[in-house]
Amino acid sequence: MPVNLILGIAILLACIVIGRLARVWWKFRGARVITCPENLKHAGVVLSARHAAATGLMHAPELRLSSCTRWPERAGCGQQCLIQVAEAPAGCLVRNILAKWYEGKTCASCGCPLDEAHWEAAKPALLRAGKTSVEWSQIPAEELHEVLAASLPLCFACHMANTLVREHPELVVDRSAKRAI
């Protein structure tokens, strides 16, 4: 066999292996919300995506937790919650839960549609009771469902304005009042 053919086959096989590893890693990375089988309450977990990718080359990946909000107290648990992740890996991913929640909603302050949220540059936020805004990354995963039920969606611009007014009121000038002539 010509050397070029062997080299081409080797490169093709390497690309297939790397592609499979990357796909499994991508599928199982990120924070997730599950229902703990022990107490039936929400918990935030992170899978070992590297382990899933390493074990998922030839067969179904072996899932294991790298962190859980119930640890260290319950660190020795049997990790039965992994069944939920295996059944719906995308359904319990925090990012997907948020995307679905924002879908079809408009900003509670300016009315701007939030369907096309720019997750990397200008993440939408949440307007909580008391009219304070928070970034969703500040919400613990185990509290996500409860916070979403009690919050309103807020676009990035309104969140920034709300934060400025709250944290630096001395820099804000309210020009909405009519001037006396």
Count of beta carbons in the 10 Å neighbourhood of residue 80? 11
pTM of the predicted structure, to 2 decimals: 0.74
Q: Please give the average per-residue pLDDT across 73-92, as a whole number.
A: 86
Q: Over 60: is that where the pLDDT of 181 sits?
A: no
Q: Kindly state the percentage of the chain with pLDDT values over 90.
A: 9
Decide: residue 1, CB within 10 A, 0-12 exposed, 13-18 middle, 19+ buried: exposed
> What's the CA gap between 70 and 80, in Å, rounded?
13
**pLDDT at residue 179 above 60?**
no
145-171 pLDDT, tens digit each = 999 999 999 988 889 888 888 888 887
74-78, 84-88, 129-133: least confident range: 74-78
Cα dihedral sign for 160, 94, 153, 124?
positive
